[in-house]
Structure 1
């Protein structure tokens, strides 16, 4: 029996996808503590953020149903952890999925694609800076894909009247074999 094809496709994010990206992110800003933004960025701001990432050749992906590649169910991107040359091989990943898509595998597929791409690009260390130490879904996703908890920053954010911790998780990517 042939393996069942994945109902999701991970593909590069294009400008026409950004309306969905903005709506997904706005949901997380308004309802969750995984991001510490208080006001959702406008479509223009999200377009500028996306442009900064893709023009530098860094990965920005979306998850779409294989039956409709114009729909976006989640997105993920990576960028250098800090804007200093000594951090050139260390990237931070960000992943957001739509509220009706959570726990359906989109986040894992997006993160796997980011890790594969970053490894191909020679990245050595990957960090996840996770808002809210109670964010069990994000913590579990990163742990499942080989990230380790390396630190907790206590009470560094405040949202919805709560003081919030930030969890830092890290994964080392093995270098590609030399040919």
Structure 2
């Protein structure tokens, strides 16, 4: 008998017993376990059967589970991290995070870092419109932020917003971008927005575009060489999703 098909005393292979443990309690403390635990447990009896034929089916099962969890927008967050509305006290950290991207990347087309006073005005403007401005906080430190702003100033665009999400460089890879985007989508819909646009530079943007696609965004177009920064010509991808 192959090791991958070994069965325990209950007749189920270790793979199936692992899935039982995850879906019925005691999820492993890793991304896969948290994604599995995010699923509706009523799916367990149906999907467990995919594990019974060994490791190939287990791979298929985990792929299906991961897609389902992403579609249902259950973000994986770092332990101890919270996403909450921004306050003026957060804006010094927000400014510091954004300054890194202004000075060292083409993720933003800003060339001069906004001051804390600029961020105070932006926070007041967005919250005054009822739009969300959120921060991710970990161990008492703001490590990321996200907000929704009007897509265009003309009044007929009033139900369409553009998202902005940035993480401190040391906070990437921990699920915080997903947590922020998931909360931003929810709060923007609650605020009455009906469409959300993401504008993503074509350089070093694979992770950002993949994250947006996880949350239901679809490609809406490519604007060729519309930006010029750090001596480079930059194109931008447009992604879009309905908020209901």
For normalisation by structure 2, the TM-score amounts to 0.66
- The structure 1 residue matched to 2:218, chosen from 148, 151, 170, is 148
- Residue 50, structure 1, aligned to residue 123, structure 2: yes
Residue in 1 that maps onto 2:101: 28
8 Å contact kept, 1:133–1:167: no
2:236 corresponds in structure 1 to: 166
Greater fraction of residues in strand = 1
Residue 88, structure 1, aligned to residue 161, structure 2: no
Alignment of 1:100-179 (within 5 A): 100-174=170-244
Shift of residue 45, structure 1, vs aligned partner? 1.4
Runs of 5+ consecutive residues of structure 2 not aligned to the other structure: 1-24, 30-76
Distance 1:54 1:2, change over 3 A: farther
- TM-score, normalised via structure 1 length: 0.89
* Residue 114 of structure 2 is aligned to residue 41 of structure 1: yes
Give the number of the structure whose residues are more often helix, by fraction.
2
Residues in 2 aligned to 1:103 and 1:55: alpha-carbon distance in whole angstroms: 32
Alignment correspondent of 1:19 = 92
Per-residue CA deviation, residues 96-139 of structure 1 (Å, 9 max, x unaligned), is: 00000112111110010011111222321110011235411211
Q: Deviations over 1:30-73 (max 9, x none)?
A: 111110111211111122222211222210000012x42xx101
Secondary structure at the aligned position of 1:114 is classed as helix
Unaligned residue ranges in structure 1 (runs of 5+): 175-179
Secondary structure, counterpart of 1:143 in structure 2? helix
Secondary structure at 1:107 match in 2: helix
